Chains A and B, each alone.
Chain A
Amino acid sequence: MKSFSSFPGCALHGRLRGVLFALGLLLLLTMDLAAGVLVAPTVIILSDKERTGRMTIQNPTNKPREVDIYFGFGLPESDSLGDVRITMQDSNVTDTRSAMAWIKAFPRKILLPPNGSQVVRLVATPPESLQTGEYWARIVVRSREGTVALSPTGENNQITTNLNMIMQTAIMLKYRTGELTAKLELVDASASVRDSLVEVILNMANRGNVSYVGVLSCRLLDADKKEISHKNVDLAVYRDMKRRFNLPLRGEKPKPPYQVEVLITTEGRHDIADEDMIFGNVINRTLAVP
């Protein structure tokens, strides 16, 4: 398909339509994005020294918002392909590292006025026999419009439908106790060419007693050590994790043989305050691409 500018004589018309479309989109976004609540921070850390914490919920819209807060459990886990997902549980959690049962939030139900905000306090009351390490829960913030109006039944006794679109954000809460160590092992790693990509597969195992939170970087290099492409992701390994990345073979005929530099470090996270980070080992590995 051609863009507007590709059509002779249509350039101005095309630009005008483009501008109108952008303005329409702006209006739409302004209206539509004024609908969810914002929750900060994105990770909450409690400990045996500081058993209380807080988060702020903000309603940036001009409508009241009903907000419910409850707790769940879910860790980032990888599937057999190396993709990551979090499977949420809100009951029957048997994981020994779950803090779900002994974390409380106050208040748990809030009616946020337009453009209002509310601080929610979090309190941990862990069992006395808690072993050294880190314990986890998800704070789930559910929001919906304060008043949900049902579509009225039509004049001719029609059947109408109204589906409430409910939004939930799940924030990680970590409770720490005792001497803490962040340690990650890169159990195995491989790289191979797949069409116009280099596929990198990394198997990692957490050998510490806290989640290993850091940054994973992969750089694809050509025979002259010139970078072809790279990928950086925020990493959180709670137990074992497999990650797969596709690094594109960009540019004009990159010169083989290729290699991939892998760097895993707890440095470089900007979403978590330094005092809340547990800094751990650094992994550097160079993979030959056969």
Chain B
Amino acid sequence: MSKFFGTMPKLTSLAAAILALLVGPSMVMAQDVANGSATATVLTALSVTATAPLAFGNVLQGVPKSIAKTDAAAGIFTIAGAANAGVSMYMQLPDYIELADGSDRMVIAFGITDANVDTTGGGDPTAFVAGDGYADQDPHNLPSGANLSDAGAANIFLGGRVVPTVDQTAGAYSGDIILTVAYNGS
């Protein structure tokens, strides 16, 4: 495994290049639509993508379950925009999740170190290392001063914990996690 992860720094640049290739054309198209011009040089549109949901899987009554931010089941948001652009990120997190009919709810908690912010554009939460960006961040208060990578990408990896009660009603519980992103320089 260590050999495999040893390739990550080199592959990060490859991933960034692929990211740029994939995202670039559609964004340019979007900008062209707005500007009515095929030749304008414009800032790349800022895009936020929920790449993977925070997935707790099945939960047992009375047994809290945690997902680490470095787990493959961590929630992933991907931000794409202009290379090296400064961005602000703001996350709104639920205090509980509930059944569709509202008849029962379950506590969900996010600790003050439950987020990693990867400003290299690497998309794998299990491969994150401290040098890739901002480690152990409070998801309620994401770091200021973050910049997108050379390829214009960043990822947020989010962990969390659900705490079902011993008499938690069986069913599908849902809630919203909202990420807002804005350019700092305009």
Contacts and interface: CB of A to CB of B under 8 A. Distances in A.
Interface of A: 1-4, 6-7, 10, 14, 17-18, 21-22, 25-26, 28-30, 32-33, 35-43, 54-56, 58, 60, 74, 76, 79, 81-88, 117, 138, 140, 142, 148, 150-154, 157-172, 213, 233-236, 244, 270-273
A164 B34 contact: no
Interface string B59-84: 11100000000000001111010101
Given A161-B59, A165-B50, A169-B47, A153 B172 contact: yes
A82 B86 CA distance: 13
A43 B184 CA distance: 11
B164 A159 contact: yes
A24 to B, nearest CB: 10
B174 A166 contact: no
Nearest to B93: A163
A4 B7 contact: yes
B57 to A, nearest CB: 8
B42 A150 contact: no
Contact of A161 (B7, B143, B162, B183): B162
A58 B33 contact: yes
Pick the most buried of B43, B78, B182: most chain A CB atoms within 10 A of its CB.
Answer: B182
Contacts of B58: 154, 158-160
Given A41-B34, A42-B46, A236 B173 contact: no
B48 interface: yes
A236 B186 contact: yes
Contacts of A233: 84, 86, 185
B126 interface: no
Which among B23, B46, B54 has the greatest number of chain A C-beta atoms within 10 A?
B46
Nearest to B43: A271
B171 interface: yes
8 contacts: A6-B6, A29-B22, A30-B22, A60-B30, A161-B55, A161-B56, A161-B97, A163-B94
A236 B185 contact: yes
A162 B42 contact: no
Given A2-B6, A25-B123, A159-B106, 5 more contacts: A76-B184, A84-B184, A117-B30, A213-B185, A273-B35
B170 interface: yes
B154 interface: no
B49 A167 contact: yes
Interface string B118-159: 000001000000000000000000011100000000000000
A74 to B, nearest CB: 7
A244 B86 CA distance: 13
Contacts of A54: 34
Interface in B76-121: 76-78, 80, 82, 84-86, 88, 90, 94, 97, 100, 106
B175 A163 contact: yes
Contact of A169 (B50, B97, B174, B181): B181
B39 interface: no
A223 to B, nearest CB: 29
Nearest to B172: A150
A166 B175 CA distance: 10
A171 B185 CA distance: 11
A156 to B, nearest CB: 8
A213 B48 CA distance: 24
A32 B123 contact: yes
A42 to B, nearest CB: 5
